[in-house]
Amino acid sequence: MGTAIASGLVADGWTRVRVVEPSADRRAELASVAGLQVVASATEITGTPEVIAVVVKPKIAAAACQQIAPLIGEQTLVMSMCAGVPLGLLAEHLPGGTPVVRVMPNTPAQVGAGMSALSPNETVSPQQLDLATSLMQAVGETMIVPESLQDAVTAVSGSGPAYVFYLAEALTEAGVQVGLTRQQADKLARQMIIGSARLLAAGEHPTVLRERVTSPGGTTAAGIRALDAHATRAAVSDAVWAAYRRSRGE
């Protein structure tokens, strides 16, 4: 995710993008991205950054905050992309009064089509929130939500790409079962999802789009009836609730 966002910023025209990466192998990979400055430790960064993005596994978020604390100036904005880590916990390991925006991005950011939900703490100024928003818009769309909704965002948008990929897998396997080659089934499933996503992006309600495909008594109606028989809607709801509870640490 960090690589996707850093690369997206460079592609969007942002300059002086510096990445801290302790792994030598990953540093070598990142060094190949034109426009990125890659260092092994936060101690190698000089000056006071305008924005610091913390993009690490949740279990090391506190340690990462402690490492960047010496770099934070009066106007420095911290953006955390650590799933499930609340603003309050981050504040415990940062200088008092540090402006922090909690962000939940998702993996389509890798192709500039991400969705990011942002939640600022009380010390973030309107200008800083605008800055955080513009940074995330370099890799997709954005939404401002209260922090209380971040776990719900994680369950729908953060985990959601995996649900779509799961569907693509299932469609491909089913296509093979009804006689297609794996290559044919894979291409059909991929392009169907891409095209359907573009229709959704045009703005019409999913129900309207579904009804247009579903002729009375037709093949699609038979397929929908089978999905309903297997309580697919309930299964999707259960998946979202399971992800939501895990994000809350339950």
CATH at 65 = 3.40.50.720
- Check: CB of residue 80 under 8 Å from CB of residue 102: yes
Q: Which of 30-44, 79-93, 172-186, 208-222 has the lowest mean pLDDT?
A: 30-44
Domain with 230, as residue range(s), is 160-247
pLDDT at 172 over 90: yes
| Domain end position, chosen among 147, 177, 207 | 147
Collapsing DSSP to helix, strand or coil, 118 comes out as: strand
Distances (CA, A) of 95 to 47, 72, 98: 17, 8, 6
Task: Report the candidate in 153, 151, 188, 181 with the shortest Cα–Cα distance to residue 167.
Answer: 188
For residue 13, what pLDDT band results from cuts at 50, 70 and 90?
confident
Region 226-238: mean pLDDT is 97
Distances (CA, A) of 98 to 39, 86, 92, 131: 24, 14, 10, 15
pLDDT at 16 over 90: no
pLDDT at 190 over 90: yes
Query: Based on the number of CB atoms within 10 Å of its own CB, is 229 exposed (0-12), middle (13-18) or buried (19 or more)?
Result: exposed
| Chain centroid to CA 103 | 8
For residue 211, the domain's CATH number is 1.10.3730.10
Q: Does residue 48 lie within any of the structural domains?
A: yes
For residue 197, what pLDDT band results from cuts at 50, 70 and 90?
very high
Residues paired with 117 in a beta bridge: 104, 143
Alpha helices in the chain (DSSP H): 2-11, 24-31, 61-68, 87-92, 126-136, 150-153, 160-177, 182-201, 206-213, 219-229, 232-247
How far is the first Cα of the chain from the last one, in angstroms, to the nearest whole number? 25
Do 170 and 53 lie in a common domain? Answer: no
pLDDT at 14 over 90: no
Region 132-138: mean pLDDT is 94
Q: What is the per-residue burial (b if ≥16 Cβ within 10 Å, else e) of 176-187?
A: eeeebeeeebbe
Residue 104's H or E segment, with its range, is strand 100-104
pLDDT digits (tens, 9 = 90+) for 203-226: 999 999 999 999 999 999 999 999
Task: Say how many domains are in the chain.
Answer: 2
Predicted local distance difference test score (pLDDT) of residue 71: 92
Do 34 and 119 lie in a common domain? Answer: yes
Q: Does residue 155 lie within any of the structural domains?
A: no
pLDDT digits (tens, 9 = 90+) for 137-162: 999 999 999 999 999 999 999 999 99
Do 43 and 137 lie in a common domain? Answer: yes
Instruction: Say how many C-beta atoms besides its own lie within 10 A of residue 33's C-beta.
Output: 15
Region 3-15: mean pLDDT is 83
Do 137 and 170 lie in a common domain? Answer: no
Predicted local distance difference test score (pLDDT) of residue 132: 96
Do 93 and 170 lie in a common domain? Answer: no
- Check: CB of residue 8 under 8 Å from CB of residue 139: yes
pLDDT digits (tens, 9 = 90+) for 83-129: 889 999 999 999 999 999 999 999 999 888 999 999 999 999 999 99
